[in-house]
Chain A
Amino acid sequence: MAGNALDRLMEMRADPYAWARSWKERTGGKVMGFFCCLAPEEMIHAAGALPVRITGENRDISEAAAHLQSYCCSLARSGLDMALDGTLSFLDGTVFLHTCDTMQRLSDIWRLNAGFAVHADFILPVRFESDSAWKYMTAELESFKEKMAESLGPIDDAAIGESIKIYNRNRALLAEIYDMRRKDPSVLPYDQALWISTSSALMEKKEHNALLEEIVADLKAHAGSAADARVPLFGVGSVMDQWDFLKMVEESGATFVDDDFCNGYRYFDAVAPEDRPPVEAIARRLWDRSSCPCKHTPSRNRGTCLADRAREAGAKGAVFFQFKFCEPHAFDYPHVKKAFDEAGIPSLNLEIEQGAVSIEQLRTRVDALVETIKA
């Protein structure tokens, strides 16, 4: 099994922002928060700042309830609550991306109430096809670069190019871990694999790479030995941060062999082409990456794409893990589920809110799915 590097990363899970806080203390550098994995992190990194992903947490909402209705997703509510009660006070600023209606309004509410020095909106197109949308996206990325340079200090193309290389290496290493698990899930429990990917957005990438190199080497030394009798599953959703749930799934005799979570596969999917000018390269990666339900890509059917990926990974079942009140995912659920049905992959739909997850209730449903697959 992987040794020290993995232990170090796993320790972070109890306090996901400890690393960023100590980095800031150590370096005096600026920390920029962001919610969505479509954030052009390389640009922030190239300015010498630390991009850190905010994905909310399991908590009872207090201050955010005065700003966001109860029919707003827990990701936005708990994230805002963390900003208002000082949990995120190590941030110098935040970047919001145009994804869903909730994030769009959260950006305003955040800017007006959270009190961070820097606030930037990166208004992605919603169409991720057509020349006009591509032109708009690259122009918007150029203007985002200017905004970041104003707030964080000069960003030159050579520095972005360097950051792109570091980020691409990170993506390749994460992809390698997922690849190894597809072949032999027993090399690493899924909750750890997903946390490794999640932690990548919480640390400086070069340092994360150094840990990943070690982890990958260790895993390689142990890969491909054991036959895994557990039921292989595929996970669909946005952010998956319910570690106790994932451990419970493994206790139920199943494991995830692949996923489409945006802190999992979608975080590291596709690389930025290093032979292109840096801004174009970042845009190209966002454009080519597997689709998010917030983006309109009519030529790619998300249902069949996901069902194909699940089949290729050898999954025998799928779990849809959705935040309650998340419209983009809820709208996609019926047709994506249908694609899984047609591929002969039974699935389970779990709607959760951070801070209100009952593992025992979910266990019954997961057990039922596992039994169905075994039978």
Chain B
Amino acid sequence: MKQLITNYYIEAKTTEEKPICWITSGGPVEFLIAMGVIPVYPENHGAMCGASKIAVGLAEIAEGMGFSQDICSYARLDIGAATTGGGAIPGGLPKPDFLLCCNNICGTVVKWYEELSRIWDVPMFLFDTPFIHGSKPEHATEYVKQQCLELIEFLEEQTGKKWSEERFEEVALLSVEGVDLWKEVLTTAESRPSPFTCFDAFIHMAPIVTLRGTQEVVDYYKLLRDEMQDRVANGIGAVPDEKYRLIWDNIPIWYEMRNLGNLFAGNGACLVADTYTTAWAVDIRIEDPLTSMADAYTKVYLNISIDLMLEQLSALMERFSADGLVMHSNRSCKPYSLGQYDLARAVTERTGKPALIIEADMTDSRAYSEAQTRERVEAFIESLR
């Protein structure tokens, strides 16, 4: 896995002929792969900076430029890194030739990418996926489908290459295969004890997010699935003496992953699934890739209403036989976090299982209290007894 991601960044940094496109984590990367474009994910880089605890320093650079400390910390640290060449990749992320922003995860990315477009002086394509409060109207599907065609035109213009339907189908097939394998990996956590925790999934999700639609991803997840299935067959659990099974909601607290992992495991609690890594399990129907992609990219977890989230969250609780829910109230992410108070109550009402809400930020550790979190987690697990 480390090799896979290292190779990917080495290629992105050294390529001379392949164009680079910065893309949001929920974006339709299959189009880029099919056109031979290298996708680069500022959010993935943000997670790396968070995990390696260099996020605050980078965010402060953006704050010095006038960006409020209250805006998304991924955006702040990325703007800080982009303008100084800093970050977790030596010399900074490779410069983009153009940008692909999909707002199915938040409206924040639109503002963030507009700023990137100014910083790098490169064009930006906004892939606009109308939010779903109840049912999705036909004209919304049509709008997104039309944008798939506009995106193809945009990519032809940017790369000077012709679009190949054949190549796209190959990529779509590989994407489906990769996604299916990733789902199989996640499914192994239904077993008791679970062979991995969501903290492992947060690490192993990088390829499905970034390189969906490539053979490397398929190969990688085949290996991972086999390994997890082996563990299940041999009754090997990720948490020794797994007593409680919990679901995680929201983006990880990247700088605190190890501590939190130890804290839960030390108390016999295994976080068996989460709403974050399942977000990349989008369904593409190969008979009609464009329509099904338009549909799948619009229906992602963060682009649906609280009631629809409740259905998915409750189903997740049931499917993984969870004893409780842990929600990260993430200062940086409003679409993920606003509504959690209502969701927590509704999940408890629906499933009878308790919920814990931790106040933090995904990469900005200045908004986080370790002692308070430890106390609350321990009390929560105590209450499960």
> Chain A: residues with CB nearer than 8 A to chain B?
66-69, 71-72, 98-102, 104-109, 112-113, 121, 123, 125-127, 130, 132-133, 135-136, 139-140, 143, 293-294, 296, 298, 324-325, 327-328, 330-335, 337, 349, 351
Contacts and interface: CB of A to CB of B under 8 A. Distances in A.
A107 B147 CA distance: 26
A125 B331 contact: no
A330 B126 contact: no
Top 6 nearest A-B pairs (CB, nearest first) are A331-B111, A139-B139, A136-B143, A334-B66, A132-B146, A105-B338
B283 to A, nearest CB: 22
Interface in B132-177: 133-134, 137, 139-140, 142-143, 146-147, 150
B341 interface: yes
B124 A298 contact: yes
Nearest to A138: B139
A109 B338 contact: yes
Given A107-B133, A136-B143, 7 more contacts: A66-B341, A67-B342, A100-B107, A105-B338, A112-B342, A125-B128, A296-B128
A102 B338 contact: yes
B169 to A, nearest CB: 23
Contacts of B103: 126
Given A101-B108, A132-B143, A334 B335 contact: no
Given A125-B143, A331-B111, A109 B118 contact: no
Contact of B110 (A72, A102, A112, A296): A296
A136 B339 contact: no
Nearest to B134: A121
B140 A330 contact: no
A139 B133 CA distance: 17
B108 A327 contact: yes
Given A71-B70, A327-B71, A140 B342 contact: no
B107 A101 contact: yes
Contacts of A71: 70, 331, 334, 337
Contacts of B341: 66-69
B139 A143 contact: yes
B334 A127 contact: no
B8 interface: no
Contacts of B107: 99-101, 104, 126, 294, 327-328
B305 interface: yes
Contacts of B203: none
Interface string B114-140: 110110000010101011011001011
A68 B71 CA distance: 17
A67 B346 CA distance: 12
Interface string B340-351: 111000000000
A331 B137 CA distance: 31
B339 A72 contact: no
Contacts of B118: 335
Nearest to A129: B126
Given A132-B147, A328-B111, A69 B71 contact: no
B306 interface: yes
Contact of B338 (A68, A113, A132, A296): A68
Interface string B264-283: 00000000000000000000
B384 to A, nearest CB: 23
A132 B152 CA distance: 14
A105 B133 contact: no
B215 interface: no
A102 B142 contact: no
Nearest to B145: A132
Contacts of B114: 296, 298, 331
A140 B137 CA distance: 9
A337 B71 CA distance: 17
B131 A104 contact: yes
Nearest to A102: B334
B68 interface: yes
A106 B307 CA distance: 13
A331 B307 contact: no
A351 B338 contact: no
Nearest to B101: A296
Contacts of B65: 334
Contacts of B368: none
B67 interface: yes
B40 interface: no
A107 B111 CA distance: 21
Given A66-B341, A113-B342, A331 B126 contact: no
A331 B115 contact: yes
Given A105-B335, A330-B67, A127 B128 contact: yes
Contacts of A296: 110, 114, 126, 128
B326 interface: no
A252 B34 CA distance: 61
A126 B334 contact: no
User: By CB atoms of chain A within 10 A, which of B65, B67, B131, B331 has the most?
Assistant: B131
A113 B341 CA distance: 12
Nearest to A72: B338
Nearest to B103: A126
A331 B342 contact: no
Nearest to A324: B70
20 contacts: A67-B341, A69-B338, A69-B341, A71-B70, A108-B133, A112-B342, A123-B131, A126-B126, A136-B130, A136-B140, A136-B143, A296-B114, A296-B126, A298-B124, A327-B71, A330-B71, A331-B71, A331-B75, A334-B66, A335-B118
Contacts of B131: 98, 104, 121, 123
Contacts of A126: 103, 107, 110, 126, 128
B126 A333 contact: no
B13 to A, nearest CB: 28
B381 interface: no
Contacts of A324: 68, 70
Contacts of A98: 130-131
B172 to A, nearest CB: 22
A155 B143 CA distance: 26
Give the residue among A69, A99, A139 with the most B Cβ atoms within 10 A. Answer: A69
Nearest to B106: A101
B112 interface: yes
Contacts of B147: 132
B78 to A, nearest CB: 12
A136 B142 contact: yes
B183 to A, nearest CB: 27
